[in-house]
Structure 1
């Protein structure tokens, strides 16, 4: 994570005392393990697979993502927004598989939660994905759910998927026109930025440019499921939480921003330096520019 924090210039936020404090981020994934680095960061847990009451992760994917967003405990890993809180929804099983119906239910439950509480979930990190034109009715319901959450004030982010490099390979709900879709870079250089070969690419069937944002997603080290353990993972799933953490920092600075305003700030501050012109996206995010543009 140290190289990621350096790449996004996280110190630009930290020097201002911005650590994501007061921001609640929902992670829809395989669950969350009470890792040392996540102590005090887990605000809620809901198990849609086995209905267990206590946080757990029998796969590790969700814990890894949660660490990227907000690890800030007593261990070695420092997440992008170590002052934020995490709300884990286990919608994927130990093999990383799940039902779209469970994901939709989790999204709907989060919207309902916000209607009942003053401390609202502001960001939703989704790594569930299905290819375009697959199960159209389920895809339609998933898109409707995430777009309703967006309209209710939740910044929704989804992975572009790992089915690249061909066109039209962005997975749903990442094809939504409203939500923010994130792809993966292999290079962390500021002068050369190469899209990961596996990263899903647009345009979508509706000719929408996707993903909007690309961030490093290869060989990212974050929390493992065992206490004090760390693992290395790659994929667009690892790129999404970097942006979720960045947005948590932005919302911590100004909680009044709407999802559309957040998306506009990302667009205005995106940097395409060193990126192949054939790659259709906005670019990467540098916190120095994002916070100054804001």
Structure 2
């Protein structure tokens, strides 16, 4: 840990001095009461084109046309199947009418720019080897805002994730690459960060704060801004400029650079509306080197994750509020892996300041830190992929029963994963309630109550008291083992739901006599179910 983080207990003066350094008080917004300096959410950028324009570009779009409205104009990326062809092309570039904008030796890829299509065509390239270069951007909350009634996290994200004990040593020995806008010096971060800058900033410009905020959620070390895995070794890979703009080529270059630097985990809080064959190749390369990649699903409120989160080999992460509610801006996707805190989370901002960070960019940092913590705190040495499996099997059910496109396998629960081998934990939860409506294929309907054993002990003869409107239904669960999920379906209430357009439902878990629940707060749920007008 950096000496800047050591809080001396010998004198009150030193303690007060560190607090002043961490949270300098300056002019605050009139509607914000705090002694901490907050700044507006750092600007985030997302692809603005609608979901209907999303398409997989198989890396050979030039065979059909010379224009893609989503691509960076007058640029192409060429990949070569042989080392000889790659090296030969690099040599002859200087005598051509195109410009070498960068290369990736491990993928045998070259980024070129040109002034006219005739210069490109003069190269007589195999169309199979050519693809467009697409913008990759940090997500912005622009078109879709959080819905009314949601609750921000502030500095309570770790508590929400079940981290109730000292985690200051978690993540030791695990290398994590943050592919973003770069990580700037901050009181909450270790000084010993490896920096790989693949893009130069314009002279006199201030770096974008985005990467610094993301890094603090993973590995923040200050007591007032602690990440999930404070001792993780960070690798800052800058691929975006001061405005948060990058490209598919730079992202691929960043992924390969991170893998070559020994990153076991890679955090990508960026995305594109277009699929890039080169990025997919970079993902494959990193996985072959042993890395596991996480990416933000995106903030445009569509039904498909941004790329590379949409890649099935990448763990995609969506955002929730402090009530565990899916946030409207968080892209849904059948490929979604996890849900994590993503609303008004306290994070670092350059200049030893603090910001309120909202979006899937921050959400993805939590499972990355969680996997690092699981790796470092396991009794035996485990791989990053094994740690991901542990996080999956100890995530909390949410939304529809089983994996779904809003929550993935569930909401991550770091404490549950870390304490998985601690005996004696009894924790039965009412995980979710959803109402099943009849469809053209099935007339089945009723309230589905998901019950989950989040403890480490098998529980026998627990009961669930379910109320649907004015009707009461007791149900006995004979046995539920650790990590087991069961769904209780009560076929009642459809008539009242259609008549009133809403229905009050609730469920309460009761343990057998003599047993007490470690987290009684999750034993009960009470909600109002509403029905779309078309289904009434």
- TM-based fold match above 0.5: yes
Determine whether 1:68 maps to 2:68: no
Identify if the C-alpha distance between structure 1 residues 269 and 12 changes in structure 2 by more than 3 Å, giving closer, same or farther: farther
Aligned to 1:44: 194
Matches within 5 A, 1:84-233: 84-114=232-262, 121-131=263-273, 134=274, 136=275, 139-164=276-301, 166-167=302-303, 169-186=304-321, 188-189=322-323, 193-203=324-334, 210-226=335-351, 228-233=352-357
The answer to whether the 8 A contact 2:189-2:221 is kept is: yes
**Given that residues 143 and 172 in structure 1 are in contact (C-alpha distance below 8 angstroms), is that contact kept between their aligned partners in structure 2?**
no
Q: How many Å apart are 1:216 and its aligned residue?
A: 1.1
Contact map agreement 1:163 1:199 (CA 8 A) in 2: yes
| Coordinate RMSD, CA, aligned | 2.3
Q: Residues 96 and 287 (structure 1 numbering): CA distance in 2 closer, same or farther, change over 3 Å?
A: same
- Unpaired runs of 5+ residues, structure 2, are 1-153, 422-536
Mapped contact 2:218–2:369 kept (Cα < 8 A) = yes
SS in structure 2 at match of 1:2 = coil
- In the superposition, relative to structure 1, how do residues 126 and 214 fare at CA in structure 2: closer, same or farther (>3 Å)? same
Once residues 372 and 206 of structure 2 are traced to their aligned partners in structure 1, the CA distance between those partners, rounded to angstroms, is 23
Equivalent pairs counted in the alignment come to: 262
Q: Which residue of 2 aligns with 1:283?
A: 410
Q: Which has the higher helix share?
A: 1
**Does structure 2 conserve the Cα–Cα contact (< 8 Å) formed by 1:155 and 1:259?**
yes
Distance 1:248 1:223 in 2: 20
Cα displacement string for residues 12-32 of structure 1 (whole angstroms, at most 9, x for unaligned residues): 573xx7511111211000111
Hey, what does 2:67 align to over in structure 1? none
Whole-angstrom distance in 1 between the partners of 2:407 and 2:416: 21
More displaced, 257-266 or 231-240? Answer: 257-266
Tell me the alpha carbon deviations over residues 39-80 of structure 1, each in whole angstroms, 9 at most, x when there is no partner.
33x42001111179xxx961100000011111114x731111
Query: What is the CA–CA distance in structure 2 between the aligned matches of 1:13 and 1:252, rounded to whole Å?
Result: 14
TM-score under structure 1 length normalisation: 0.82
Contact 1:21 1:252 in 2 (8 A): yes
Cα shift at 1:127 = 1.4
Mapped contact 1:30–1:57 kept (Cα < 8 A)? no
Preserved CA contact (<8 Å) 1:19 1:82: yes
Higher relative contact order (CA 8 A, sep 6+): 1
Please say which structure displays the higher CA radius of gyration. Answer: 2
Q: Normalising by structure 2, report the TM-score.
A: 0.46
Structure 2 equivalent of residue 240 of structure 1? 364
The Cα offsets for residues 165-184 of structure 1, whole Å up to 9 and x where unpaired, read as x32x2011111222211100
Query: Residue 244 of structure 1: SS of its match in structure 2?
Result: helix
Task: Flag structure 1 segments of 5+ consecutive residues without an equivalent.
Answer: 115-120, 204-209
Cα distance change, pair 280–229 in 1 and its aligned pair in 2 (3 A): closer
Q: How far apart in 1 are the matches of 2:342 and 2:407? A: 18
1:4 to 157, 160, 164: 157
